Amino acid sequence: MAQNGSGDRVVENGFESVEHVDELDRGLSQKGSIKLKEEEVSVERVFQHLLVPSWRNQLTRRAFAVSFVLSILFSFIVMKLNLTTGIIPSLNVSAGLLGFFFVKTWTKFLEKSGMLRQPFTRQENTVIQTCVVASSGIAFSGGFGSYLFGMSEEIANQSTDTSDFKDPSLGWIIAFLFVVSFLGLFSVVPLRKIMIIDFKLTYPSGTATAHLINSFHTPQGAKLAKKQVKMLGKFFSMSFLWGFFQWFYTATDQCGFQAFPSLGLKAYENRFYFDFSAIYVGVGMICPYIINISVLLGGILSWGIMWPLIKTNEGHWYEKGLGESNLHGIQGYRVFIAIALLLGDGLYNFVKVITHTLWGLYHQIQERKRENVLPVADQDSPSSPELSYDDRRRTQLFLKDQIPTWFAVAGYVAIAAISTATLPHIFHQLKWYYIIVIYLVAPTLAFCNAYGCGLTDWSLASTYGKLAIFTIGAWAGATQGGVLAGLAACGVMMNIVSTASDLMQDFKTGYLTLASPRSMFVSQLIGTTMGCVISPSVFWIFYKAFPDLGKSTSEYPAPYAIIYRNMAILGVQGFGSLPKNCLLLCYIFFAAAVIINLFKDFLGKKGKFVPLPMAMAIPFYIGPYFAIDMCVGSLILYVWERINKAKADAFAPAVASGLICGDGIWTLPASILALAGVKPPICMKFLSRATNVKVDTFLGS
């Protein structure tokens, strides 16, 4: 599962491929369909001869050492994606694969030398995956590409309100993350038994991750994992070297392969070109086809049709000569229509998921009433003879290591008190009574998000954050710094509800791999602690290395920063500053997003062919160039599946992860070189008529 720039989960993972090929390797294919033998249906019988380590023994030093290294790697990847387009694919496959590979290699070496004291278990693998995802997740929920960077003067100068800003500083960012990132963990801990055991919520991503880890620790799965890691490493190297090669030719702006007019100069002017980005080719291979097609359709609709038509009304709809980045001109249409699409899609899915949540909760409680057993935290569930061997084993161990409810409540109250006292010193616009109101309603919203995620695999963290922007921003008002108050409140709310659903996903993974809830909770705490330091440090490298960070013409435009800031401005000031007819177009696209979603749900299974409004909104502001990269990734995957579907299912996630990791981690040396003042030696211009007349003539322009 992945996140788009607004924080909502939009991309399904493809973990089933590992099981599919594993079954092929075991020769279980019969008449073209794969069927498990009866005795192999039980997963836990495969591992019944292995002793499950205690929760303390699941938390090993080597696990956290590997987690720390991988957290740095993935934080750079997530940060680059955050600051470019905001589309963040699932990195669970990469985290699971690399964690397995590193520790397995180390334990094999110790085993041969006779120094191995503790074997590598699937529970330890689960701890690593949990810690890495929790840590790198802060790079997203920290708002470095959205609400937090939207507070800066750089973004304020691009908005309609330039008076209220707070520039990034490493000290206050780390302090802010430490006081808001742990509350979500404590808010849902008492509900772990109700969600996992009593309500038996699916949590598709947590379940898929568990199946992946379980398969790694079988002989066939370990063999396949070794091949996958080899494939990941191969494409990681290729992607890294390609990024290094491209760097040599980018001495100034608008030069190098990333500025190559592959579709012609006129198309390039409207941001239609292939920029040779390995990272977004990889993202396209992971994202479902409909996501990539939706993004491309959004780019065609906006940059191919709407913006050229609106530009013909320059002088009528808006003043002439305002430039490309002025919100009172063409930029205003780009930003606010994208916001309308995001809000329409977000509101629809919010109502949909909340409805599913309340309806599902009602049925769960009614069913429990008929059984005369209401779900209560920390109360043992009666064993049922109808439970399978796997369920009995998993339930027994999941309930063995309890986390006391008093501990969770005390932790939440203590952190909330510290946060309430601290946050007004970081943001004087965010009054203490705003924070108390947020913390009073946050546990309920965290429960709703965690429950809804268990039903639908859809986290609405950003939607709750947007609600905080509008409610707190409007409450504070323009004279009391409502813009910064709204953005800060968004950060508080997003962190709480996002970490709550993530923790419950991890509990589901732990339940299915026999990892202790205590080890999952501690791993999440340690991973979050790592993320609160690593993510701001990574962002600071980007912030110092690239002075044009956040500008629409930059390599790192941070598109959601300007979008979130303008949401806050709308909440405080209203719609008075919008260009002519912009509000009408916003209403039309808001309604269109709702209607498209209704139509998509009405069609049922056929609805998977209907584009997603939220994905369509992404290129409205920054252009469709990355959509072309993603569609190239989709094309590669499509052809591969037609040639050899089994291999494509098994190795496409590894290839995609390699492309993403290689290009993403190249930003570390590139940033260091930029900080040191080292510039690329060559500028390979494709677009200058004065310096490249031959190329210009060849392209027929």
Taking CB atoms within 8 Å and a gap of at least 24, the contacts of 42-49 are 42/388, 42/389, 42/390, 43/214, 43/390, 43/512, 44/389, 44/390, 44/393, 44/394, 44/514, 45/389, 45/390, 46/218, 47/122, 47/214, 47/217, 47/514, 48/393
Would you say 546 and 83 are in contact if contact means Cβ atoms under 8 Å apart? no
What pLDDT sits at residue 27?
Answer: 34
pTM value > 0.75? yes
- Please report the pLDDT score of residue 496 as a whole number: 93
CB-based burial label for 344 (10 Å; 0-12, 13-18, 19+): buried
- Core vs surface per residue 584-598: b (16+ CB within 10 A) or e: ebbeebbebbbebbe
- Lookup result for tokens 């968004």: 490
Query: How many percent of the chain have pLDDT more than 90?
Result: 39
What span, in angstroms and rounded, lies between the C-alpha atoms of 173 and 536?
A: 7
**In this predicted structure, what is the pLDDT of residue 104?**
82
3-state secondary structure of 314: strand
Q: What is the CA radius of gyration of the chain?
A: 25
Could you report the per-residue pLDDT of 410-424, keeping only the tens digit for each?
999 999 999 999 999
Count Cβ atoms below 10 Å from residue 117 Cβ, excluding itself.
Answer: 7
The 10s digit of each residue's pLDDT in 549-576 is 988 778 898 989 999 999 898 888 877 6
Which is higher by pLDDT, 615 or 407? 407
What is the average per-residue pLDDT within 64-85? 92
CB 279 within 8 A of CB 661: no
- Name the band, by pLDDT with cuts 50, 70 and 90, for residue 371: low
3-state DSSP helix/strand/coil percent for the chain, to nearest 5? Answer: 70, 0, 30
pLDDT of residue 428: 93
Q: Render 639-657 in DSSP notation, one character per residue.
A: HHHHH-HHHHHHHHHHHHH
Residue 186: per-residue pLDDT: 94
Distance in angstroms (rounded) separating the CA atoms of residues 86 and 542: 15
Per-residue pLDDT band at 7 (split at 50, 70, 90):
very low
Give the Cα separation of 377 and 340 in Å (integer).
Answer: 41
Report whether pLDDT(22) > 50. no
Per-residue pLDDT reduced to its tens digit, 122-133: 999 999 999 998
- The reported pLDDT for the residue numbered 248 is 86
State yes or no: pLDDT of 269 exceeds 70.
yes
Identify the pLDDT of residue 373.
58
Q: Which residues are within 8 A (CB) of 288 and not within 5 positions of it... i.e. 6 or more apart? A: 11, 12
pLDDT, position 380: 54
Q: At what angle do helices 278-286 and 219-247 cross, to 10 degrees?
A: 150
CA distances from 545 to 8, 48, 542, 562 (A): 29, 53, 5, 20
587: which 2 tokens? 């209403």
Number of helices (H) and strands (E) in the chain: give both, helices first: 29, 4
Q: Assign 326 a pLDDT band (cuts: 50, 70, 90).
A: confident
The answer to whether the beta carbons of residues 297 and 631 sit under 8 Å apart is: no
Whose tokens are 């329409």? That residue is: 344
- Least confident range of 178-182, 519-523, 662-666: 662-666
Say how far apart CA 434 and CA 614 lie, in whole Å.
30
* Cα gap 45→53, rounded to integer Å: 17
φ, ψ at 100 (rounded to 5°): -60, -45
pLDDT digits (tens, 9 = 90+) for 382-403: 445 577 888 889 999 998 888 8
Higher per-residue pLDDT: 67 or 30? 67
Nearest to 84 by CA among 566, 656, 554: 554
At residue 509, the pLDDT reads 92
Quick count: other Cβ atoms within 10 Å of Cβ 167? 12
CA dist., res. 572 & res. 358, Å (int): 31
d(CA 658, CA 73): 12
Q: Give the pLDDT confidence score for residue 687 in this predicted structure.
A: 54
The pLDDT of 140-150, averaged and rounded, is 93
Complete DSSP assignment for 24-93:
HHTT-EETTEE---GGGS-STTTTTTSPPPPHHHHS-HHHHHHHHHHHHHHHHHHHHHHHHT--B---HH
Q: Which of 269, 325, 274, 218 is nearest to 550 (CA)?
A: 325
pLDDT at 163: 79
- Residue 194: pLDDT over 50: yes
In tens, the pLDDT along 456-495 reads 777 888 888 988 998 999 899 877 889 999 999 999 999 9
The proportion of the chain whose per-residue pLDDT surpasses 70, expressed as a percent, equals 89
DSSP state of 257: G
Hey, is 121 helix, strand or coil?
coil
> What whole-number distance in Å separates Cα of residue 692 and Cα of residue 138?
45
Please tell me the predicted confidence (pLDDT) of residue 525. 96
Mean pLDDT of the chain: 84
Instruction: List Cβ<8 Å contacts ≥24 apart for 231-235.
Output: 231/651, 231/654, 231/655, 231/658, 232/94, 232/97, 232/98, 232/654, 232/655, 232/657, 232/658, 232/661, 233/658, 234/658, 235/654, 235/655, 235/658, 235/659, 235/662
Q: Are 113 and 503 spatial neighbours (Cβ–Cβ below 8 Å)?
A: no
Per-residue exposure over 230-255, b if at least 16 CB sit within 10 Å of its own CB, e if not: ebbbebbebbbebbeebbebbeeeeb
- 593 has pLDDT over 60: yes
Mean pLDDT calculated for residue range 114-120: 79
Contact 353, 451 (CB under 8 A): no
In the prediction, which pLDDT does 537 show? Answer: 96
pLDDT at 102 (0 to 100): 83
Query: Do 179 and 423 form a contact (C-beta atoms < 8 A)?
Result: yes
pLDDT by residue (tens digit) across 433-466?
999 999 999 998 888 888 878 877 778 888 889 8
Q: For 239-263, write each residue's pLDDT tens digit.
A: 999 999 988 888 777 777 877 888 8
Query: Is pLDDT of 40 > 60?
Result: no
DSSP secondary structure letters along 386-454: TS-HHHHHHHHHHTTS---HHHHHHHHHHHHHHHHHHHHHH-TTS-HHHHHHHHHHHHHHHHHHHHHHH
Q: Write down the pLDDT at residue 475.
A: 92
Token pair recorded at residue 552: 């629409």
Measured CA to CA, the distance from residue 254 to residue 484 in angstroms comes to: 34
Question: What is the biggest distance separating any 2 CA atoms in the chain, rounded to whole angstroms?
Answer: 83
- pLDDT, average across residues 95-103: 82
* 53 has a pLDDT exceeding 70: yes
